[in-house]
Amino acid sequence: MDRYCFIIGVALGGLIDFLGIEKLLTIAGGSMGGMQVLEWASRFPNRVHSVIPIATTARHSPMLIAFGEVARQAIYADPNWNHGDYYGGVHPDAGLAVARMVGHITYLSEESMHQKFGRRLQSREHFGYDFDTDFAIESYLRYNGQRFTERFDANSFLYVTKALDYFDLANGYDNLSQAFTDSTDLTYLVLSFTSDWL
């Protein structure tokens, strides 16, 4: 991912050169886009005045890498994945939906899940062992997993999550603070969410 962000940074640098822009006022991005914002602040500080990284990190923790791997395994386990060669056939939507459900768990903290869903039942008055959707949190996860399959590709998901896991802004430095040695004149607005476990 750090190589990917560097390539994106060089490409964007080439684009703003082509457009005749010497320096950008602000760059902003969330999640993977936030990683690219941090990369720009570190590698191209002379091309930007300020940066706004949103809900992002300089590198994934082992816990986040683990969640990413569980999500990828859900896709690999879908019989329709066919080692990524499913184009022209049935897509591995069941695996992709489960992968997205795993992701959605990391987008909410335990406290925010309590506040948003609690242990509320989803339109039922009693517990059932028919393996249907009983709890509101189950309904939320299933809905978002299914919706995701309508607008995203499983192989793309695999590559994006691997790129997120590989990104490490401190790569090539002794520590993370060295990555920002030349970026001290930039203005930073860092946005994060206490309700987001990721």
- Residue 80 sits in the same domain as residue 147: yes
- Residue 75 sits in the same domain as residue 49: no
Q: What is the pLDDT of residue 27?
A: 95
Report the C-alpha gap between 85 and 45 in whole angstroms.
Answer: 41
- Residue 42 sits in the same domain as residue 91: no
Instruction: Give the pairing type, strands 187-188 and 48-54.
Output: parallel
- Residue 66 sits in the same domain as residue 157: yes
Q: What is the pLDDT of residue 131?
A: 78
If one counts the domains in the chain, the total is: 2
Q: Specify the length of the chain in residues.
A: 198
The whole-chain average pLDDT of the chain stands at: 90
Question: pLDDT band for position 129 (50/70/90)?
Answer: confident
CATH number of the domain to which 119 belongs? 1.10.1740.110
Of the listed ranges 45-54, 115-124, 167-176, the least confidently predicted one is 115-124
Domain extent at residue 16: 2-59+173-188
Report the C-alpha gap between 167 and 128 in whole angstroms.
Answer: 44
Q: Is residue 195 part of a domain?
A: no
Those residues with Cβ within 8 angstroms of residue 108's Cβ, 6 or more apart along the chain or in another chain: 116, 195, 196, 197
Q: What is the pLDDT of residue 134?
A: 87
Report the C-alpha gap between 13 and 20 in whole angstroms.
Answer: 10
Report the C-alpha gap between 158 and 68 in whole angstroms.
Answer: 9
pLDDT one-digit tens code per residue, 84-100: 999 999 999 999 999 99
DSSP character at residue 130: S
- Residue 128 sits in the same domain as residue 39: no
Torsion of CA 131, 134, 138, 139, to 10 degrees: 110
pLDDT one-digit tens code per residue, 46-88: 999 999 999 999 999 999 999 999 999 999 999 999 999 999 9
* Cα separations in angstroms, 180 against 9, 45, 90: 16, 9, 46
- Residue 41 sits in the same domain as residue 129: no
Q: Which of 26, 31, 24 is nearest to 1 (CA)?
A: 31
